[in-house]
Each structure stands twice: as structure tokens, then as C-alpha cells.
Amino acid sequence: MTSKVHLPYFDHLLELLKDQNQTAIAAFGRHVHWGYWEDPSSADGSIPDFANAAEQLSRRVCDAAKITDGLKILDCGCGFGGTIASLNERFSNLEMVGVNIDERQLERARSQVHPLNQNSISFVCADACNLPFEDNSFDVVLAVECIFHFPSRETFFKEARRVLKPGGYLAICDFVPLKFSLPFTHLIGKFLTTSVHNTYGTIKSNFSLSTYRQLAQKTGFITRIEEDITRNTLPTYPLVRKLFRENGAAETEKITAGAELVSKLGITRYLILSFEAIDP
Ligand SMILES: C[S@@+](CC[C@H](N)C(=O)[O-])C[C@H]1O[C@@H](n2cnc3c(N)ncnc32)[C@H](O)[C@@H]1O
């Protein structure tokens, strides 16, 4: 089955996984996102260290959503189900649904992630901006490092608010440019549009923190957590660039180096954000 979205890095990754590439399995077989190192100087550049850091990032986003046993959780843009797998191992009596626009990824998720601890798990192919779920039906909505791919952050927030119960949490992580740098990042983006399209697919990195705050207010949320973890994610870049280089993905390596530069310069920050749904 082909993907409805244009995600060349996933096309490449799925090929590597199909070929049983052990490095790809260890690095991205569960989570497909950046790592979080509490102490970035401790990063040793190894794949197991990166996989552990990716697990830590997932846990931090879940912590921002105040997840406890017994909740009903929707993970939007769920990749291979890594965040659901992590929750499945750590909590009990959860009802978890993973949503992804790419059925190929869901096939892997279904084959890898099986319920433990009286949890229930299902994976549904859908667009995060058009969720096939009833109003007020979830306690938590997650979007781990994927909102930049969605057709619209505004529509996604409205959908998340619609399916959340009052008092429920939306937690995300995203690459967030500083407001003053938006004209600059817009200009650079114009030059790099084709390269980004050819590597990471459709990405929108135009949402500053103040725009997030306004969106949250407009769509029925109170912002609860704004955590800047940029420095904790930086060891991701050399490792991921090396993996792309070794797999002949020179253009992806170049774009990743650009993302590393704007992160190191503080022009784009990696934020964990959480929002509480309030009564309309
Ligand atoms: C960087 S990956 C993150 C995957 C997963 N959240 C993780 O952390 O391992 C981005 C994910 O967003 C998914 N995605 C992109 N556009 C989407 C959409 N409109 N609706 C649902 N999922 C989408 C992709 O298929 C991919 O799984």
C-alpha cells in the first residue's frame, strides 16, 4: 500500500527495515524522533545510547500530559507505535489508539506492539486533522514530533479539543522558531523548499511560541507546560547525519545539518508543550 502523504525519509526507512538493516532497526525501529539527554555531555554517539534517548523524549512528552493508569489516550502521528509501546510497558488499564496517515507504518506498529498490563491498543489509519472519533472521548491527545507534517496546526488543535474531555491534556513536541527569526527562516525555507520536500517531505516550521499560545487560547486550551529542551536534543544531530551519510542519503544529511545549525544558534528551539482542555 502506498502512503497518502509524501514522506521520503519514511520510504527510505521502511526499505531498510524490510531488508532487516540492524542499525535502522536499533535506531528507528520503535521511535522515529530525536533523542533527549538529561546530560547532553554524556551522549556517546552509539546507537543504543540514541535509542535510549529517543525513549526518554517520548516519556517526557507523556509526562507533560500527566498520564496515569486507566486513561484513554490518542497518539496522533504515531509512527511505528513507539510511544504507545512505551506507555504499554509503564502503565496499566490504558485504552490507547494510535493514528497515522501512513498504513505501511501502522502495519509495522500492529506487528510490534501488543497489549500488556490490561491495556488495550488499536491503530487507525486517519489524518490527525480529521479524526474519526467522537467528541469528548479521550483523556489525553499526544503528537510526538509530527505536528509540522500535519495539514494545519489550527485544524489539529480544534480536532484535539473536540475529542478531548474537559480537563484532558494535549501534549506535543515541535521545532519552534523564535518570532523575530520568522522572516529569516521563511527566506531560508524558500531556498530549501525542494530539498526539504525531497527528504523530509512536507514540513511547516512557521509557528512561534506566541502563535501557539494564541492558538491554544482560541481553541479552548490553557497552556500548562512550555519546556525548552533544545540543548538536550543536540546530540541527535551528529548521529543522525552519520546514519544518513552511511546510507547514501546525502541530501537528507545536508538538510539535517541546516536544522542542527539553527538549533545550535538558538533560532529554532525544540519545545515540549502541554495544554489543558477547558470547558467551552
Ligand atoms: C517524525 S515521525 C514521528 C512518529 C512518532 N510520533 C514517533 O515519535 O516515533 C512523524 C509521523 O507523523 C505522521 N504523519 C504525518 N502527517 C500526518 C497526518 N496528517 N496525520 C497523521 N499522521 C501523520 C507520519 O506518518 C509519521 O509517522
More confident residue, 9 or 3: 9
Q: Write out pLDDT tens, residues 171-197.
A: 999 999 998 777 777 767 766 778 888
Which of 11, 104, 149 should be mutated for ligand 1, with most atoms under 8 A from CB? 149
Closest ligand 1 atom to 144 CA:
6
Which of 9, 74, 146 should be mutated for ligand 1, with most atoms under 8 A from CB? 146
Select from 258, 133, 128, 247 the least CA-distant residue to 205: 258
Q: Write out pLDDT tens, residues 122-148.
A: 999 999 999 999 999 999 999 999 999
Ligand 1 centre from 202 Cα, in Å? 11
- Band (205; pLDDT cuts 50, 70, 90): confident
Q: Write out pLDDT tens, residues 147-162.
A: 999 999 999 999 999 9
Looking at residue 4, what is its pLDDT? 63
Ligand 1 centre from 48 Cα, in Å? 23
| CATH T-level assignment (fold) for domain 8-277 | Rossmann fold (3.40.50)
| C-alpha to C-alpha distance for 64 and 249, rounded to whole angstroms | 34
Select from 193, 202, 211, 98 the least CA-distant residue to 144: 98
| Strand order across the 120-125 sheet | 120-125, 95-100, 72-76, 138-144, 164-177, 268-277, 221-228
Query: 111: Cβ–Cβ under 8 A, 6 or more apart, which residues?
Result: none
For the chain, domain boundaries: 8-277
What is the pTM for the complete model shown? 0.96
Residue 3 has pLDDT above 70, yes or no: no
| C-alpha to C-alpha distance for 247 and 268, rounded to whole angstroms | 27
Q: What are the backbone dihedrals phi and psi of residue 23, each rounded to the nearest 5 degrees, phi first?
A: -70, -45
Mean pLDDT, residues 233-257 = 94
Residue 10 has pLDDT above 50, yes or no: yes
| C-alpha to C-alpha distance for 61 and 49, rounded to whole angstroms | 19
Mean pLDDT, residues 90-108 = 98
Handedness of CA 19, 244, 100, 92 (dihedral sign): positive
Residue 33 has pLDDT above 90, yes or no: yes
More confident residue, 254 or 193: 254
Closest ligand 1 atom to 31 CA:
9
Residue 210 has pLDDT above 80, yes or no: yes
Select from 46, 78, 40, 44 the least CA-distant residue to 61: 78
Tell me the pLDDT of the chain averaged across its residues.
94
- Band (1; pLDDT cuts 50, 70, 90): very low
- Band (74; pLDDT cuts 50, 70, 90): very high
Looking at residue 2, what is its pLDDT? 42
270 lines ligand 1 (CB under 6 A): no
Ligand 1 centre from 73 Cα, in Å? 16
Ligand 1 centre from 225 Cα, in Å? 22
Closest ligand 1 atom to 127 CA:
20
Q: Residues of the chain with pLDDT > 90: what percent?
A: 86
78 lines ligand 1 (CB under 6 A): yes
